[in-house]
Structure 1
Amino acid sequence: MGEDENRPIKTRHTILLVDDELTIIEPICELLKRLGYKVICAESGKQAIDLFKQECDDIDVVILDMLMPGMNGKEAFFHIRSIRPDIPVIFVSGYNYKDHLNDVVSGKASSFIQKPYSFSGLHLEIQKILTDNNSSAKI
């Protein structure tokens, strides 16, 4: 038996939600919690990195706003990926960064959602990423 086989199966997924707008982060956090996710909220790129350092082994997905004061989402992304290169990241923004991100972000399970987004669309993207990661982990 390998080391991974002895590890307990995780049944509750953890999401790091990063956005400087409380009008976005508070309702999304509550809705995700109602769906059974554990949610860690950060209001800045720096706070996200600090929280990620503490919880990196437990976080399954990062939802990261692109435009924030101080450290923007792209900078936070590179710090987070330097800690854990395989972490799935969903970028969100009111501006269309999708083409730019394709040039910058390489690696599996990174995606982009345009604001304003629907909660159901975000939830579907989270489920897709978690499913993709579980499938690739078994290969």
Structure 2
Amino acid sequence: MSQETRGYTVLVVEDEDTLRQACSDVLDAFGYCVLLAANGEEAVQMVKAEGERIDCVLLDLTMPGMNGATTYAQMRKIKPDLRVIVTSGHDVEDALQQFPTGSVFEYIQKPYSMYELHRRLQELLASAASGNAA
């Protein structure tokens, strides 16, 4: 377990069961506490219930029902300083067009390696610890 990840809680919001479970397994192995949501509605409810302990959200952009952009907006209403990494198979320009101007999040394009995900989480959480917006 890494000193940099111990105690951090990541909410994984992914509608693909296999990818959601793979992310959970790998993040757990890296030492993160992991919460899972299969869709946007579950994610919003989880942020309402567990928001104080969620340090970062890994959010799929394209999901049935409430999409990633709407989910992002709803979660940010509940916890305005929530750190978010949006994931998508779309290129970054297409993804950004789905969000209101001024939305603040990190972006990682699918497919991504689990080591890349871990590195990006470490960077985001380190910036949170130093007080930088992301």
Report if TM-score (shorter chain) is over 0.5. yes
TM-score by length of 1: 0.84
CA distance in 1: counterparts of 2:21 and 2:95, whole angstroms: 28
Q: Deviations over 1:59-111 (max 9, x none)?
A: 00000000000000000000000001110100000112445527636365x11
Q: Secondary structure at the match of 1:82?
A: helix
Q: Does 1:117 align with 2:112?
A: yes
Q: Which runs of 5+ in 1 are unaligned?
A: 1-10
How many aligned positions are there?
126
Query: Where does residue 130 of structure 1 map in the other structure?
Result: 125
Question: Which of 95-104 and 121-130 deviates more?
Answer: 95-104
Query: Where does residue 104 of structure 1 map in the other structure?
Result: 100
Superposition CA RMSD, Å: 1.7
Q: Is the 8 A contact 2:61 2:95 kept in 1?
A: no
Q: Does 1:35 align with 2:56?
A: no
Query: Where does residue 11 of structure 2 map in the other structure?
Result: 16
Identity %: 37
Q: Which runs of 5+ in 2 are unaligned?
A: 1-5
CA distance in 2: counterparts of 1:83 and 1:71, whole angstroms: 16
Higher-Rg member (1/2): 1
CA distance in 2: counterparts of 1:128 and 1:98, whole angstroms: 22
CA distance in 2: counterparts of 1:106 and 1:83, whole angstroms: 17
Query: Where does residue 6 of structure 1 map in the other structure?
Result: none
Q: Is the 8 A contact 2:10 2:32 kept in 1?
A: yes
CA distance in 2: counterparts of 1:14 and 1:105, whole angstroms: 27
Q: Secondary structure at the match of 1:117?
A: coil
Q: Does 1:65 align with 2:83?
A: no
**1:56 aligned partner, one-letter code:** G
Shift of 1:32: 0.4
CA distance in 2: counterparts of 1:18 and 1:98, whole angstroms: 21
